[in-house]
Amino acid sequence: MKKTKNFKPIDIVLTAISILIACIFLTPIVWSLACSLKTEGMKITSALDWFAPPYTFENYPSVILGSSVSTWLINSMFNASMSVILTILVTSLAAYPIAKLEFKGKSWLFLFFTVGLIVPGEATIVPLFIITNQLGLLDSYAGMILPSVAVSLNLIIISSFFKGIPNEMIEAAKIDGANHWIIYFRVVMPLAKTVLVTVSIFAFMASWNNYLWPLLCAINDSMFTLPVGIPTFAGTYTVDYVRPMTANMIASIPAIILYLIFEKRIVKGVTLSGIKG
Amino acid sequence: MAKKTLYHNGGRMWFIVIWFILPFTLLYSVFTIWPVIQGAIVSLHRWGLMGKQGWVGLENYQKFLGDRFFWQAMQNTALFVVMTVPLLVVSAFFLAMLANRPSRVKRFLRASYYLPSILSVSVISFITIYMASPYMGFLNQLLHSLHIIPAGIEPMWLSKTSLVRITLVVTTVWWTLGFSMLLFLSALQDIPEQLYEAAKIDGASAWRVLFSITIPILGQTFALVTFLQIIASFKVFGQIYLISGGGPGTVTRPIIQYIYTTAFTKNNLGYASAMSYALFLILIVFSLIQLRIQNKKD
């Protein structure tokens, strides 16, 4: 990209517009954060009062300790981490033979695995509920986690990355006496770190923000995740802004931190998939 | 393309392969493929939350053809698609153009436009509900202090039909635009710099460059983003369910919410599955078109 040395007025105008829009985009989030730092019952007379000090962090411990938010936070964390671990393990295992081994019926197997790309989860939510119920997994962690583990798109992304790993490296390991399990674990997996991190981030975000499925699958308040719990929590505080917005921020801060740490990888991952959404 | 895979030993390879693919195949079959088949079976029965109640054949399918709530929900969903998709595609492109300009705030712009997308649907819905509520909400206070609306008038963003529609569309655009913006941004960065330099030498105006170079080159990205957005908007549920509850009455209720209510409040899983199948077929058509566009692109 070339550096502009002499600014034209149009450049200044466009930059100003782009910054203004960015501020509009951030306002609801900043507003939510400002609310969570307010003392309950503060008088608000104009729009700017929302953002004005004094600030307090008292709401965070009080909301986390004094309500079910802590339980939902733990559930969300647990579901998201388990979902990441299982997704990476199960998907990369299946990706290895598809990328690196030759066997009868491979193209049929791959076709079968990719059909899932066009199955919209929202349109199969009712039978998914019936199946989960028949398996006795309703209102359990397994029931919330397992349906989102085996995803076609992740398999395609990981196996196409595996395909790019040179066969010579695998041959060399083979000569050293390694079997396929050792090659998968010691050669292929370490080389695929970047793509595995990308898939992990998306699996984490998908689980952390999932709403429709946990809404159906979690029946007891103690099994709720943050997205399912927050609306019930906020409903009881309609006049008060402080506690609901604090709960909102507790649900958002982990995702925001994750975004700021892995920004580059997320941007790449979006382009790589082009399908999620 | 030459095949470059290792170890040809035919059928016996399966003894190893089977262990690698077993966990994925199991989970994928049970939770992705089987629901499609089970959905068809359920749709041919009267089926409640406690299980099967009897075979009804195609009755559930006939039923929704004459169900005005089904058509209303379809119409609401279609209206939502028509209102959001063009707005999302155009504004995502516009913001990608802004974020692609050489400037010191480039990273800040990209991050700010994308940040809402990483929030959960409940979070963004509750931000909207609290911000847009009348009398004490931030939005009306702001509009009053900027004198955009006169004092004493309180727009009912959450309860007046026409305004609720606007609230839902604006919230959705704000929340989901980031993803499409990133797709446009990476496509913009792939356009070779020389093309622009050549146009500059030829003395082409900025508008000319936009309409003769940038937009034609991004043709496929436009098509891809459009279809991805159509699919996403057709599946809308969370933000409408949480912000308006499908109301006032049922005038903004989308099809997924009607399916959800039919199944889990009205206890009619058979009928809900039949309607799901109608939605399923519509979405598959769009998905196949989208995959075609994508394959062409690669």
Domains of chain A: which residue ranges?
11-39+50-56, 68-273
**Residue A163: per-residue pLDDT:** 93
Given a cut of 60, is residue A2 above it in pLDDT? no
Of A13-17, A50-54, A232-236, the range with the highest mean pLDDT is: A13-17
Residue (of B288, B293, B271) closest to A119 by Cα position: B288
Q: What are the CA-CA distances from residue A27 to residues A48, A230, B36, B116 (Å)?
A: 12, 21, 42, 10
Mean pLDDT to the nearest integer, B90-94: 96
Chain A contact probe: residue of B42, B130, B273 with most A CBs at under 10 A: B130
Select the residue of B116, B259, B291 nearest A25 (Cβ to Cβ): B116
**Alpha-carbon torsion A13, A18, A22, A27, what sign?**
positive
Of A64 and A41, more confident: A64
* CATH architecture of the domain with range A68-273: Orthogonal Bundle (1.10)
The per-residue pLDDT for B3 is 45
**What is the pLDDT of chain B when averaged over all its residues?**
90
User: B-contacting residues of A 63-122, CB under 8 Å?
Assistant: 89-91, 93-94, 96-98, 100-104, 109, 112-113, 115-120, 122
Query: What is the pLDDT, as a whole number, of residue B176?
Result: 93
The beta-carbon contacts of A180-188 under 8 Å, at least 24 apart in sequence, are A180/A96, A180/A101, A180/B16, A180/B20, A184/A92, A184/A93, A184/A96, A184/B20, A188/A92, A188/A96, A188/A100, A188/A162
Span B130-138, average pLDDT? 85
Q: Which of B11-15, B191-195, B274-278 has the highest mean pLDDT?
A: B274-278
| Dist. CA B48–CA A64, nearest whole Å | 38
A114 has a pLDDT exceeding 60: yes
Please report, for residues A24, B83, B160, the alpha-carbon distance to residue B168 in angstroms, rounded to integers and kept in the order given: 17, 10, 12
Smallest Cβ distance to B20: which of A15, A93, A227? A93
Q: Is A126 on the interface with B (CB under 8 A)?
A: yes
CB contact under 8 A, B272 and A126: yes
More confident call, B8 vs A168? A168
Could you tell me the CA-to-CA distances from A175 to A170, A171, A172, A179 in Å, in that order?
9, 6, 5, 10
pLDDT of B201 above 90? no
Q: What share of chain A is helix, strand, coil (3-state, %, to 5)?
A: 75, 0, 25
* pLDDT of res. B260: 95
Please say if the pLDDT value at position B165 is more than 60.
yes
Domains of chain B: residue spans and CATH: 68-297 (1.10.3720.10)
Distance CA A98, CA A138 (A): 33
What's the confidence (pLDDT) of residue B2?
Answer: 41
Q: Which of B136, B179, B237 sits opposite A122 (nearest CB)?
A: B237
A147 close contact with B: CB closer than 8 A: yes
Contacts of B130 in chain A (CB under 8 A): 35, 241, 244-245
**A208-212, A250-254, A263-267, B116-120: the lowest-pLDDT one:** A263-267
Global pTM value: 0.90
ipTM score: 0.89
Mean pLDDT throughout B220-231?
91
Share of chain B above pLDDT 90, in %: 63
A97/B20 CB distance under 8 A: yes
Query: Quick check: B6 and A128 CB within 8 A?
Result: no
Q: Chain B: nearest CA to A128, how far in angstroms?
A: 5
Residue pLDDT, tens place only, A88-111: 999 999 999 999 999 989 999 999
Q: Which of B132, B10, B276, B5 is nearest to A27 (CA)?
A: B132
Examine the pLDDT at A3 and tell me if it is beyond 70. Answer: no
Q: What is the pLDDT of residue A142?
A: 97
- Check whether A6 has a pLDDT greater than 80: no
Q: How high is the mean pLDDT of chain A? A: 88
- Whether A47 and B138 lie within 8 Å, measured CB to CB: yes
Compute the average pLDDT of residues A111-138: 93
CB pairs under 8 A between A and B: 301
